[in-house]
Amino acid sequence: MAAGTTFVQGRATCHNNASGQHSMLFRLQRHAASIRSYSGLNPSRKAELRQEAATTCCRVTSRSSVSRATVNAIAVDAPPVENLETCPRGAHWQVHKFGGTCVASADRLREAAQLVCSDLAEQKVVVVSAMGSHPTSLIKVTDVLLNMVAKASRQDEGFLLDLAAIQEKHVETAKLLLVEGHALNSFVSRLLDDIANLKAMLRAISIAGMATEAFTDFVVGHGELWSALLFSATVKALGYDCQFMDTREVLVVTPTSDGNSVDIQYGLSNDRLDAWVRKNGAPEVIVATGFIAKNPLGQVTTLKRNGSDYSATTIGALFQASQITIWTDVDGVYSADPRKVPEAVCLPSLSYHEAWELSYFGANVLHPRTTLPAMRYSIPIAIRNFFNLAAPGTQISDVILDIQTAGFQTVKGFATIDHVALINVEGTGMVGVPGTASTLFSAVRDANVNVIMISQASSEHSICFAVKQVDADRTLHCLHERFNDAIRSGRIHHIEAIDNCCILAAVGQQMASRKGVSATMFSALAKSNINIRSIAQGCSEYNITVLIDGKDSVRALRAVHSRFYLATLPLAVGIVGPGAIGGTFMRQLQQQKEALGAEYNMDVRVLGITGSRQMVLSEHGINLEEWEEQYTGQAEPVDMARFADHLANSYIPNTVIIDATASEAPPALYLQWMQKGIHIITPNKKLGSGPLDQYLALRHFQRESYIHFFYEATVGAGLPVIATLKHLVDTGDRILKVEGIFSGTLSYIFNMFSQDKPFSDIVTEAKALGYTEPDPRDDLAGMDVARKVTILAREAGLNLELGDVAVQSLVPAPLQNVASADDFMQQLPQYDADLAQQVSEADAAGECLRFVGVVDCVQSSGSVELKRYPKSHPFAQLSGSDNIIAFTTQRYQQQPLIIRGPGAGAEVTAGGVFSDLLRLAAYLGAPS
């Protein structure tokens, strides 16, 4: 009777230490288990336990969404209890499972044993894997055992060397753990006997030149036997009552129909557990072998891949334990593979169904079947990091507990299955014909091919399904054979395989009650320029599965994960051209970094900076306060392909290149960059005014994808010229004319030009102030304005080439080919008279001279010329280097729409680039 009391109190302490999140409902489960398990309890104690369970029931149902019916179902009496000669099952048992890395050396085995002994649970079962790899011994026992079988099958006697290495690893470990004495001698004696048996078995395999599955299972299971014996001896050496359990004496399994897993025979296994207890008793600690079992015929077999975890949950179900803890080398189950998504988070809790779905779709912490035995008895599974005991891990339990502790996170995690082929079967003869799908999948089953996902159009015109890439050819062959007549008659048009695909799954039990989950996921993929080939979703909505191109696997995973899990919008930036504009932009970005995070939920990181000769790359972001030092001190030779790949393959799903150059080289790469999923922002005019076919190809790709090309700063620096023109066109206004002073340099020159001051003196003054290019002819020739006219003309719907724009150059013809800028400036005064006469004539007529660009949409033409305007005209009112643009449209015909302001300079141009960056962020999901 006292034992029952001790177990309830002691287990409560232990469980509160393990996980306080689910304590009340677990306490209820524990009370129910104690009532079921201890037939010897006197009526008064049994009544006390029932009252405590009832009290806990009230507390649980009052604090959470758990239904009283669910709680009562936990607390009811079980069927008739076992007699005294059966295993004392119940919540006083705690199961610990240690993976191969946790028992890979003597030190780790000792630490694991100490961890188990420190558990306050009344009784513990420990399940161990074979010893894994460790710096002191790189041998991974299970892998070596499998290789030994393979070598023996090939009649390669190298298996003898492997066998000797395994023997040495275990003997050395035993010496470090057990020192001298009976325990060491006993283990080494057992090990040598096993080694002798294995050698005989492997020689037989070598003689036969083949190995049956039964022989392989017999050989490969020895790793768990030896590690369990070592663990058991270590626990005994620490002074605890401990017994070794060879699970081949307890677990009975039968293979599944596909041969890839096994089903537990619970009736037979429970009987054998009772027999084992009658023979060995029920000690404080039982150390059991993972991975191995027997079939009903008594033949040795295994629990297949990840069988040790499956063994642990099966043992937990047989003992009806209160918790199963799986110790591994990661902190728990993550929201995505952290190797692919560095910002993945460790999930505090999962439901059984969520864990099953994630493991099915590739999350490698648990095998899909691992959760099934625990679900049978509602036993929580804790995934903990043996090497980081401070990490709370992930608790896998019933969904009701999960809701109570984890809130309402709609999507719990994302996983991918790579190397998949999509098989597509189409034909009008399939419509309305019963049994077509049955025939199809029967053929696939007969070919021993597993179907991963299925999607069918409601019209029944096509059925597509995914299989592993290695099974694609076999699947096509079997379908062509089965449907040969239908193909020849035309009822089925074709059967094809789309290779190199990937399955991406979003998993979450709460998706069923939330609207817009699919839309959010699909939008995240679309905005990353990822095409969805097929979609599957069950009515339970535990997962949404899409099939995409294999090359997009990692980018897709990062895109959907960031959309659901990151509070901020991550944006990776590459700067091409860290000169005046690029450098100013980075300074502005650094100054606004905190504000971007606070106001726009943006996390902008510059991952690369490149010039024409050198570049610097960073995985996690360049410190913009020190970018110049990094660019000069850590630079490497420029490689534009590597620069683009670095951005495209970064862990940040949203990437943008900012081309802050005036060179023709980067624009030639824009389309390639966009095809990699990289957005483009630029003040560079060379693409917008370059060859028309190149421009149209890029704009076509932009419209067909979710990749953006922003170029506001190409015409008016920070002025909203392009945006205004787009707004007018998009709202249906008809553009008649766009006319403006687009050059800050020429604006300054003609604002200052008068009869009192020669033209050459003003050019000299503008050059000294830094308003002109180093060679002023670049400004005076008018080609910069012509490029802006070409850009605006194309934006207004005219397909003009740069050469179609008529340009009046202000460079005198004799000076166009002068060798240097200095020679040009020395000879320019010789030509002042002509412009002086023009300004005099204009002034006499009450007008002024202005160098303007004109887009005439009525005449479908563009021009750059020196024109006269009345001094009352808005163009005559400018000062300094301001720009001014007038839009004459059907709506703004009597009074043109005017935009005026600074149109040149690094500050305002960088500001225009920054504005485009914010527009891009708004498109990608940042608050606007």
DSSP, residue by residue, 54-121: HHHHHHHHHHSS--HHHHHHHHSPPSSPP-TTS---STTEEEEEE-GGGGSSHHHHHHHHHHHHH---
Mean pLDDT of the region 327-350: 89
Contact assessment for residue 119 and residue 324, using Cβ atoms and an 8 Å cutoff: no
> Which of the pair, 69 or 348, is modelled with greater confidence?
348
Query: What is the pLDDT at residue 399?
Result: 58
Taking alpha carbons only, the member of 642, 671, 650 closest to residue 607 is: 650
82 pLDDT more than 50:
no
Query: What is the pLDDT at residue 92?
Result: 93
Report phi then psi at 21, rounded to 5. -65, -40
45 pLDDT more than 60:
no
Mean predicted lDDT score pLDDT of the chain: 85
Token reading at 647:
């951005």
Residue 294 burial (CB count, 10 A): 21
Token reading at 33:
């288990």
Proportion of the chain above pLDDT 90, given as a percent:
59
Taking alpha carbons only, the member of 696, 739, 688 closest to residue 714 is: 688
39 pLDDT more than 60:
no
Residue 176 burial (CB count, 10 A): 14
Query: What is the pLDDT at residue 37?
Result: 41
Instruction: Quick: pLDDT tens for 824-835.
Output: 999 999 998 888
Instruction: Quick: pLDDT tens for 377-406.
Output: 899 999 999 999 999 999 998 855 455 444
709 pLDDT more than 80:
yes
Burial level of 519, CB count in 10 A (0-12/13-18/19+)?
Answer: exposed
What is the distance between the alpha carbons of residues 412 and 542, in angstroms, rounded to a whole number?
A: 10
Contact assessment for residue 285 and residue 116, using Cβ atoms and an 8 Å cutoff: yes
The pLDDT-based confidence of 6 (bands split at 50, 70, 90) is very low
Query: What is the pLDDT at residue 791?
Result: 96
Catalytic residue, chosen from 124, 236, 767, 788, is: 788
35 pLDDT more than 60:
no
Q: Which residue has the tokens 């015909």?
A: 893
What is the distance between the alpha carbons of residues 560 and 576, in angstroms, rounded to a whole number?
A: 28
Contact assessment for residue 133 and residue 104, using Cβ atoms and an 8 Å cutoff: yes
The pLDDT-based confidence of 260 (bands split at 50, 70, 90) is confident
Residue 279 burial (CB count, 10 A): 9
873 pLDDT more than 60:
yes
The pLDDT-based confidence of 26 (bands split at 50, 70, 90) is very low
> Which of the pair, 868 or 67, is modelled with greater confidence?
868
What is the distance between the alpha carbons of residues 722 and 206, in angstroms, rounded to a whole number?
A: 78
User: Lowest-confidence range among 18-32, 203-217, 696-710?
Assistant: 18-32
Mean pLDDT of the region 219-238: 95
Instruction: Quick: pLDDT tens for 420-468.
Output: 999 999 887 777 677 778 888 999 999 989 999 998 876 667 889 999 9
Query: What is the pLDDT at residue 70?
Result: 36
Proportion of the chain above pLDDT 70, given as a percent:
88
- Predicted structure pTM score: 0.70
Query: What is the pLDDT at residue 14?
Result: 35
Amino acid letter, 624:
L
Alpha carbon distances (Å) from 295 to 252, 287, 299, 311 = 5, 21, 6, 14
Angle of the 141-153 helix axis to the 222-237 helix axis, nearest 10: 150
Mean pLDDT of the region 616-640: 91
901 pLDDT more than 70:
yes
Alpha carbon distances (Å) from 629 to 562, 582, 605 = 31, 15, 17
Q: Is residue 757 annotated as part of the catalytic site, yes or no?
A: no
Taking alpha carbons only, the member of 97, 100, 165, 162 closest to residue 131 is: 100
What is the distance between the alpha carbons of residues 245 and 391, in angstroms, rounded to a whole number?
A: 30
Burial level of 28, CB count in 10 A (0-12/13-18/19+)?
Answer: buried
Instruction: Quick: pLDDT tens for 852-861.
Output: 999 999 999 9
Mean pLDDT of the region 329-345: 89
Pairing mode of beta strands 253-255, 882-889:
unpaired
